[in-house]
Structure 1
Amino acid sequence: MSRTFPSPRALARRLNPFRRPGLADPAALPAFAVPAGQVRELQSPEAFRATLLDLIAGAQQRIVLVALYLQDDDAGREVLEALYAAKQARPSLEVEVYVDWHRARRGLIGKDRSEGNAAMYRAFAERLGPGVTVRGVPVQTRELFGVLHLKGFIIDDAVLYSGASINDVYLAAQQRYRLDRYHLIRDAALADSMAGYVRTQFRDSDAVQALDRRPLPVTRELQPAIVRFRQNLAKAQYEVPVASRGEGDVLVTPLAGFGRSDNLLNETLLGLLHGARRRVVLFTPYFNLPRPVRAVLGQLLRRGVQLDIMVGDKTANDFYIPPTQPFTRIGLLPYLYEANLRRFARLHQAQVTRGQLNLWLWRHGDNSYHLKGMLIDDEVAVLTGNNLNPRAWALDLENGLILRDPEHLLLPQHLAEWDRLRAHATRLDDYHSLESPRAYPEEVRKLLRRLSRVRLDRLLNRLL
């Protein structure tokens, strides 16, 4: 068997995120003390795009962008043009972009084979010269088993954080948008810490390759380097001081998480949920919660904690295929997630009926929903690109920012965000409000029956 493909036993170990983890104590986390006035929530993808371009244009020292991908489309080219313009205006400016190695070298799912976004990076470098380095980060030897899902744009002393990548729909460059959460934090120490992680773990690794050159190495040639890279990532964390909070400050802790064992991000998220006293608001784009998260949510409901979960309607899923278009198998995913939600709602129908559990479905035209994160007891906010699914829990490289705010200084921003989101969301009164699988299109019903017969639906839930 090829060494690039894991044995069935090794694959099972990677995919199984259900070992009972420890619960990190969030109160013991080191943190940066940041004045609350330096933390700002941006209200729309248009504001996110405008802020990103403004920060790039005004950058004086460094630009470090980390995202799953920077797409070869209008928005992606606009950002690349801005990066090259900033470098040309200030030659001493450090400009680096990190994207997933596998995602950058393939075309879009369901489209013709191509060189992917790497062809655009190379074309820009050939046309405009050196200075903007785009590197591919191979978290695993195959995309199916793990990708770069770390997020954060560090520009001088600002951290622009979102779960969004860079393309037309995330930046609302055309008619449609994909909604995420967007926050701007201005703090030099936090920015230094996040840039330092990228420099130490990515830039200095021989597994991480520049994508704007030809020929690119094949992934098989990088395998020994990727093994070492993964070993380092499993131990890596941001450098964070033990800071005391002053009046008017919030505590901000960046955390990285990789793998199913000793994953500090996972353990901290579980610890935060476990410590909730009154209310939890949870955002996830794909309702496919890891078993440890489902277990803690069940405990919260038994303790009387109010739980609000907002997901996208299946028609607001990235992979939804309208009935007017030819169906392909990737279009099964929204139905799998809706079936998961229906089972969860049915299991907890009593709490739904009495209003302790509120399940919200977001839908706005033909736009899509990609929100992640949590709000806990009006005191803690989790900003993350983590989808809170088994793949994020066990396979992908993730990160997040934990904001602790005992003075409730950021609460008005959180409440305003929650109000805006609910303007396009509907609360489920009953699990019957969700479409029954018996009413799904024939192609979907046929695939679901086939997968269920051999229990592959459970494997898909873990991988996708």
Structure 2
Amino acid sequence: MRFLRPRSNLDQLPAIALDAGKVRTLLSAAAYKQELLQQIAHAKNRIYLCSLYLQNDEAGAEILAALHAAKAARPALDIAVLVDWHRAQRGLIGEKKQAGVSAGNAAWYQRVSSNSATQVPVYGIPVQTSELFGVLHLKGFVIDDLVIYSGASLNNVYLHQFDKYRHDRYLLIQNAVLANSMVDFIRQHLLSASAVHRLDKPGYPATKQLRPEIRSFRASLKKARYHFPSGLERHAQQLSVTPLVGVGKNNPLNRVICQLIANSQQRICICTPYFNFPLAITREINRALKRGVKVDVIVGDKTANDFYIPPQEPFKVISALPYLYEANLRRFAKSHQKDIYTGRLRLHLWREGGNSYHLKGMWIDEDYALMTGNNLNPRAFRLDLENALLIHDPQHELQPQLQQELASILQHTSQIHDYQQLEKIRDYPANVSKLLGRLSTVRLDRLAYRVL
């Protein structure tokens, strides 16, 4: 007899009614870029873009140019770009600094602004006093009444500008109530904060000058929520969406993620780019397996990790991360080998050419789907500002496109049938094996799992 757990805790979440005909799922980075540029070009009232970063490269320049063109065509257009404060003021990881030249995107924003007749404000959002301990990981673009939700940032690889792409998820929802809720959150809780400053204009303060404001800002974010008119809430059997947000331990988004797994009855499917579940998720997965729920986990192969560097290229410390995650996956697979043999647990490794994998989210039974930028790791659960869209689909109206999306992901995966299919640490390149051995000896690997 299957264990059934009441779902009242999820059913009681406030939610916004959806029209299935106004929900679309895109399946590729190229389609996502094309849609984004098209929507920017046709925007009539507002464009709000919230992303970890807008990169100074060809794709980033194309997006920024499109924003300026839209503003020039419609001067009354309300435009705001929000990026992480720290990420915008440094170069890419591993990039060499040039003497006297700023490597950060902020310098580029200022050059573009000074050379443009139009103004496109770019705001730096400092979620923490140091990037290591928290960044803006809030996702979602609002263009008029269209919400475009993806975990992707704005640069060449996320937008498939050239031959390589970083695969993500891409959801479009045409809904004024949801769009207004997300814009209201940005205005009320982000843009109004004294810690937030424009990066497209020179003269903004240094981080050390803002430390008191940033600490106060982070404290206020812990209480921040999405709001929408209660009179527009849906009935229990109607297709709906709930926007969720959270930062810090035991926040509302974290709790809902765990509740989704805890309330599963038949099947759980989880996507994560970095296999490093928080203890709370691991516990709920273990409990779900014990009560007979089938669990699928889709994770990127180490070679599809955005930090992966081929062994023949010069070694960098950051390139050990994909191996660290794979070692974690191997331990998990070994402890659940019986579940793998019975087919109750299926582990899928995504790999497609030289491309990378950045998918996050969950499907629970056929009733719930979670779109999120949350990596489902300890960092996301404790440090970064995260959000998500929880779709409740009791009549299974969106199942055809959700299943199509899942099929498109799985087509580039291989299944792990035995934990020994995954390499041991001693099989890794010498530099990686040596580093991971040292980290394990002094238990720094535990710290790494919490902040990376």
Give the TM-score of the pair, scaled to structure 1: 0.93
Q: Partner amino acid for 2:247?
A: F
Q: Is the 8 A contact 1:24 1:264 kept in 2?
A: no
2:63 is paired with a residue whose SS is helix
Deviation per CA, 1:147-190: give whole Å up to 9, x if none.
Answer: 00000000000000000000000000111000000000000010
Q: Partner amino acid for 1:117?
A: N
Q: Is the 8 A contact 1:62 1:93 kept in 2?
A: yes
Residue 15 of structure 2 is aligned to residue 26 of structure 1: no
Of the three residues 367, 391, 410, the one matched with 2:398 is 410
2:122 is paired with a residue whose SS is strand
Which residue in 2 is equivalent to 1:169? 157
Of the three residues 53, 60, 65, the one matched with 1:76 is 60
Residue 94 of structure 2 is aligned to residue 110 of structure 1: yes
Which residue in 2 is equivalent to 1:119? 107
Residue 319 of structure 2 is aligned to residue 331 of structure 1: yes
Structure 1 residues 248 and 454: alpha-carbon distance in aligned structure 2, compared to 1, 3 A threshold: closer
2:115 is paired with a residue whose SS is helix
1:214 is paired with a residue whose SS is coil
Q: Is the 8 A contact 1:31 1:241 kept in 2?
A: no
Q: Is the 8 A contact 2:10 2:256 kept in 1?
A: yes
Q: Partner amino acid for 1:173?
A: Q
Cα deviation, residue 112, structure 1: 1.5
For structure 1, the 5+ residue unaligned runs are 1-22
1:189 is paired with a residue whose SS is helix
Structure 1 residues 451 and 247: alpha-carbon distance in aligned structure 2, compared to 1, 3 A threshold: closer
For structure 2, the 5+ residue unaligned runs are 1-6
RMSD: 1.3
Deviation per CA, 1:9-35: give whole Å up to 9, x if none.
Answer: xxxxxxxxxxxxxx9921110010011
Q: Partner amino acid for 2:47?
A: I
Q: Partner amino acid for 1:93?
A: L
Q: Is the 8 A contact 1:24 1:267 kept in 2?
A: no
Q: Is the 8 A contact 2:72 2:118 kept in 1?
A: no
Counterparts of 1:122-271 in structure 2, within 5 Å, are 122-242=110-230, 243-245=232-234, 249-261=238-250, 263-271=251-259
Which residue in 1 is equivalent to 2:81? 97
Q: Partner amino acid for 1:120?
A: W
Q: Partner amino acid for 1:85?
A: A
Aligned partners of 2:236 and 2:134: how far apart in 1? Answer: 41
Cα deviation, residue 247, structure 1: 11
Aligned partners of 2:115 and 2:238: how far apart in 1? Answer: 46
2:147 is paired with a residue whose SS is strand
Q: Is the 8 A contact 1:36 1:249 kept in 2?
A: no
Deviation per CA, 1:83-119: give whole Å up to 9, x if none.
Answer: 0000000000001000000000000010123331111
Residue 45 of structure 2 is aligned to residue 61 of structure 1: yes
Aligned partners of 1:241 and 1:288: how far apart in 2? Answer: 37
1:128 is paired with a residue whose SS is coil
Q: Partner amino acid for 1:91?
A: P
Deviation per CA, 1:337-381: give whole Å up to 9, x if none.
Answer: 000000000000001011110000000000000000000011100
Cα deviation, residue 43, structure 1: 1.1
Q: Partner amino acid for 1:84?
A: H
Aligned partners of 2:391 and 2:117: how far apart in 1? Answer: 40
1:307 is paired with a residue whose SS is strand
Aligned partners of 1:389 and 1:272: how far apart in 2? Answer: 16
Structure 1 residues 428 and 437: alpha-carbon distance in aligned structure 2, compared to 1, 3 A threshold: same
Q: Is the 8 A contact 1:240 1:253 kept in 2?
A: no
Structure 1 residues 214 and 399: alpha-carbon distance in aligned structure 2, compared to 1, 3 A threshold: same
Which residue in 2 is equivalent to 1:389? 377
Aligned partners of 2:142 and 2:237: how far apart in 1? Answer: 24
Which residue in 1 is equivalent to 2:278? 290
1:198 is paired with a residue whose SS is helix
Q: Is the 8 A contact 2:238 2:394 kept in 1?
A: no
Q: Partner amino acid for 2:242?
A: T
1:25 is paired with a residue whose SS is helix
Aligned partners of 2:364 and 2:39: how far apart in 1? Answer: 30
Q: Is the 8 A contact 1:24 1:271 kept in 2?
A: no
Aligned partners of 1:247 and 1:270: how far apart in 2? Answer: 21
Residue 383 of structure 2 is aligned to residue 399 of structure 1: no
1:196 is paired with a residue whose SS is helix
Aligned partners of 2:228 and 2:448: how far apart in 1? Answer: 37
Moved more, 334-343 or 431-440: 431-440
2:70 is paired with a residue whose SS is helix
Aligned partners of 1:65 and 1:35: how far apart in 2? Answer: 24
Of the three residues 354, 362, 366, the one matched with 1:366 is 354
Structure 1 residues 248 and 24: alpha-carbon distance in aligned structure 2, compared to 1, 3 A threshold: closer
Which residue in 1 is equivalent to 2:4? none
Aligned partners of 1:222 and 1:60: how far apart in 2? Answer: 36
Q: Partner amino acid for 2:14?
A: P
Cα deviation, residue 435, structure 1: 1.2
Moved more, 206-215 or 389-398: 206-215
Q: Is the 8 A contact 2:297 2:348 kept in 1?
A: yes
Aligned partners of 1:240 and 1:338: how far apart in 2? Answer: 41
Deviation per CA, 1:102-155: give whole Å up to 9, x if none.
Answer: 000000010123331111110110011342100000000100000000000000
Aligned partners of 1:293 and 1:432: how far apart in 2? Answer: 24
Q: Is the 8 A contact 1:148 1:398 kept in 2?
A: yes
Which residue in 2 is equivalent to 1:7? none
Q: Partner amino acid for 2:225?
A: Q
Aligned pair count? 441
Which residue in 2 is equivalent to 1:20? none
Structure 1 residues 286 and 247: alpha-carbon distance in aligned structure 2, compared to 1, 3 A threshold: closer
Q: Is the 8 A contact 1:24 1:268 kept in 2?
A: no
2:86 is paired with a residue whose SS is helix
Q: Is the 8 A contact 1:105 1:116 kept in 2?
A: yes
Aligned partners of 2:32 and 2:79: how far apart in 1? Answer: 19
Q: Is the 8 A contact 1:35 1:248 kept in 2?
A: no
Give the TM-score of the pair, scaled to structure 2: 0.96
Residue 34 of structure 2 is aligned to residue 45 of structure 1: no
